[in-house]
Every structure is written in structure tokens, then in C-alpha cells.
Amino acid sequence: MMGLISTLFYVAVILGFMILIHEFGHYAVAKLLGVRVEVFSIGFGKRLFGFRRGETDYRIAAIPLGGYVKMSGENPMDERTGDPREFLSHPRWHRFLIAIAGPSMNILLAIGLLTGVYMVHYEYPAVLDEPAVIGYVVDDTPAQKAGIQAGDRIVRIEGIQNPTWEQVVPREALSPNQPLSITIERGGQRFDKTIVPEAFGPNQMGSTGWTPKEPNFAITELEPGMPAAKAGLKVGDEIVSVDGQPMAGLEAMVETLKRTKNKPIEIVVRRQGQLKTFTLQPVLSEGNGLSEKRYRVGIASEMTKVTTLPFTAALRRSVQQNKEGSLLILELVRKMIERKISIRSIEGPIGIGRATGQAAKRKGWTPLLELTSMISLNLGIFNLLPIPILDGGVIMLLFVEGLMRRDISLPIKERIYQAAFVFLVLFAVMVIYNDLVKTWPAIMQRLP
């Protein structure tokens, strides 16, 4: 119960802060350009409390699903008085700056947060910046069916030459049931392959069945009360073999446990240069964030690199990360429109809450700040989509009016906004429904 309360608290703080930043962007530019701001609201619906300063009512409203800035004469259906401080009395380039200010603040927040994190604690999976060398191929998967073998190096994927795993992983995830063109290098020879990742997991993202070759397969976390901890394994132990078979990584061990089930296994580890042997009996468990039960021994292996970056390097890295993230978001939207990827890949409020809870459990503040940066970037990009009501829709209509050299008639604008409102409501219902569908199996498994 306390975990749920703390998660809800962190979600409220994160989303509230991002909404505040977004709306402050609109507010600040509107005030700067001389537009009268009547309401600055966090939340929608009935006003709960707040205060009035000057001509603006600053309020907290009942429905905490966003926020808004109400500017004088902003609604096209409102009666125009000709007051020069009304929103529609200002030139289009003023309205454009006001509209784009909100998403821009979210994107700048994402860049700023990551810059700060990287200056204090830049941690990332060690394998991400390694060449894309395959360490293990799961049986009966697209990778195996395409003839991919352990030790193969991906030297081209979708036009990217000599990619790292940081470039390969998102292309794989965003190509469920879609052909992926790759070139592999094996024994000095190159082979062109076409592989079709399977839609996998609750989010229906693409999975080929290969895993990266890791620098070493060492234990980074032990679950209390699980077989590995009880047998005496320690964090830092490097796993050499399981039942006499060399292990290329955690995925290889997972596949081994699928075959052996609850039979005792013999694990050989290297500890401080010496080999030690342990006998463990796997148990059927759904712990460690899994949505279904499987045979486990209670270890995690995620080798990371940790460093700090000076300001200029941190800023450069943050800009690059956010640029790549923005392009991946746009690619995801494009593929959803083309029906090449499931809408289930989108995380709604329940998914955000789950991710927030997991980040809050990790050591330090940097995981939460990184998650906040990612959500802020998503919010900024989403608001720039050319959907009326959203900021991107306002910008699109301004662009159309600029080409027409006259305003769109009020009845047409009213119909456009009504249709957009219905679309956004249906979209929100669909996202929440998908969240519930993805969460329900895990809830049912926990019931007695």
C-alpha cells in the first residue's frame, strides 16, 4: 500500500511539474507579447483553490489530466471586441510563438534535466556503445530462422553502417512483423539477410531473438530469499558455465532454465580469479518485474559504465539523446499511422505510473530525473503533432491561414475543434484500455 501511495505521489509531482513548465511557456510568451491572460490552471474542470493576481486567476482544478492557459479572445467562438490585448487581435507570428512556447519548454526541460544528470552520474548499459556482435540466439526465433549465429556482427541495419547496439535495439523494437534488412559479418565474409522481428510482450514491440555479446556475464543483483542468494553466490561473481555449458549472457541462462525447469543445476562462477561451483534448484516465480511466472534463480546481470561529463560534453550528449529520442517518437507515430506497429506500444497513465514506481525504487535521484526527461520530451513532441486543439494543430491552422491570407471561418473552425476533441477523447480511452489489458494478466496472477 505504501508503495502505491509513493508511486502516486511521484507521478503527481512529475506530471504536475511538466504541466506547469508547459503552461508557463504559453503564459510567459503571451504576457511578453501583450496578450491578456485570464486563467492559468493546473488541471481541468471545477476550480478547487487558487488566487488572483492582477488580471489572471491562478488555480488548481479538479481533473488532474493536464492544464491550460486561457487568453482573452482565444476561443474562435468567443465574441470579438477588437481589444488589442485579445489573442486573435495579434498577428499570426505572435500566435505562433505563443503556441510553440509550451512544447519548446518541455523539450528544453528534457535537455536540461539530462544535462544535469550526465554532469553528476552518467550511467548506461555497458553493451550499448559496443559493436553489434551477437552473443546468443534463442531457439525457434526469427534470428535463428534467418540463420543468425552467435558471434555474428551486424555491420549494417536499415542503411546504418557499423551500428552499435544503441542503434540496433530501437530499430528492432520498432519493426514488429516488418522486414528488417541487415548485413552480418562472419569469418571475414558478409551476408545480406532479411529478418522479420516478432511482435512480443504486452507492448507488441519487435523481437528477433538475438542478444548482445556482453563484455562479461557477471551478477549485478541478487534477490533475497531466492536460490542464488541462499546458495552463497555474490554480486560480482562472473558466471562461467551452467551444467557444463558456457553462458554468453542472461538470456542464454533463461533459455537453459526453460529446459531444465525445477531440476537442480550446477553453476560455475569466477570469484577473485578462482572458480567456485554451486548447486541451485530453480523456482517458479514472477518476481523482478515479470508479468508471468518462469523458472528463476534470482540473479540480474546488467553491466553498466559510470562516469561524469563536463557541462559542454553533457549538454552535447543530452541534445544528441533527445534528438534521437524525438526521431524515434516520430517514427513510432508514422508506423502506427501506417498500421505497422500496434497502438499497444504506447504507455498510458498506468504504464507511466509503473515506470515511475520502478525508477523510484532504484538508488538515487538520477533514475527519476531521467524518466522525467523522457516523459517531458514525449509530451513536447506529442503536443507538436498537427492535431487541432493541440499546439501543433494551432500552428498548422495558422500556417494554412497564412497561405490563404485570411482567417478560416468560425463555423469551420468550430467543426474542426469538435472533431479533434472527439478524436482525442477516443484516443485517451483507447490508451487507458490498452493499459488495463496489459496490466490485467499480472493482477490476475497475484490473486489467490
- CATH number of the domain encompassing residue 253: 2.30.42.10
Residue 69 lies in a domain: no
Residues linked to residue 269 through DSSP beta bridges, in sequence order: 239, 276
Residue 140 lies in a domain: yes
Note the pTM of the prediction, 2 decimals. 0.78
Residue 81 lies in a domain: no
Q: In angstroms, what CA-CA distances link 159 with 180, 181, 183, 337, 433? A: 10, 8, 10, 23, 36
Note whether 185 and 275 are same-domain residues. no
Neighbours of 228 (CB within 10 A): 24
Residue 328 lies in a domain: no
Note whether 175 and 264 are same-domain residues. no
Note whether 151 and 252 are same-domain residues. no
Note the helical H segments in 233-365: 250-260, 311-337, 349-361
Note whether 97 and 155 are same-domain residues. no
SS3 204: coil
What's the domain count of the chain? 3
Rounded-to-integer distance, Cα 173 and Cα 157, Å: 13
Question: Domain ends where: 272, 290, 308?
Answer: 290
Question: Domain ends where: 290, 312, 336?
Answer: 290
Q: Quick one: 317 exposed, middle or buried, by C-beta within 10 A (0-12, 13-18, 19+)?
A: middle
Note whether 26 and 98 are same-domain residues. yes
Active site residues: 23
pLDDT tens-digit profile, the chain (448 residues)? 556 677 777 777 888 888 889 999 999 999 999 999 999 998 888 888 989 998 999 998 887 767 888 898 777 666 667 788 888 888 999 999 999 999 999 999 999 999 999 999 888 887 888 899 998 888 889 999 999 998 899 999 988 999 999 899 989 988 899 999 999 999 889 999 999 999 887 778 889 999 888 777 888 888 888 999 999 999 989 988 888 888 878 888 888 888 888 899 999 999 988 999 999 899 988 665 555 678 898 888 877 778 889 999 999 999 999 998 898 888 888 888 888 887 777 777 777 777 777 777 777 788 888 889 999 999 999 999 988 888 999 899 999 888 888 888 878 888 888 888 888 888 888 887 877 777 665 544 443 4
Note whether 97 and 25 are same-domain residues. yes
C-alpha Rg value of the chain to the nearest Å: 26
Rounded-to-integer distance, Cα 163 and Cα 130, Å: 9
Residue 282 lies in a domain: yes
Instruction: Provide the terminal-to-terminal Cα distance of the chain, rounded to the nearest Å.
Output: 18
Residue 275 lies in a domain: yes
Note whether 6 and 98 are same-domain residues. yes
Note whether 203 and 141 are same-domain residues. yes
Question: Domain ends where: 238, 263, 290?
Answer: 290
Neighbours of 158 (CB within 10 A): 14
Note whether 139 and 110 are same-domain residues. no
Q: Which domain holds residue 175?
A: 134-212
Residue 125 lies in a domain: no
Residue 17 lies in a domain: yes
Rounded-to-integer distance, Cα 245 and Cα 238, Å: 14
Note whether 205 and 233 are same-domain residues. no
- CA neighbor of 336 nearest in space, from 426, 204, 169: 204
Note whether 203 and 235 are same-domain residues. no
Note whether 9 and 115 are same-domain residues. yes
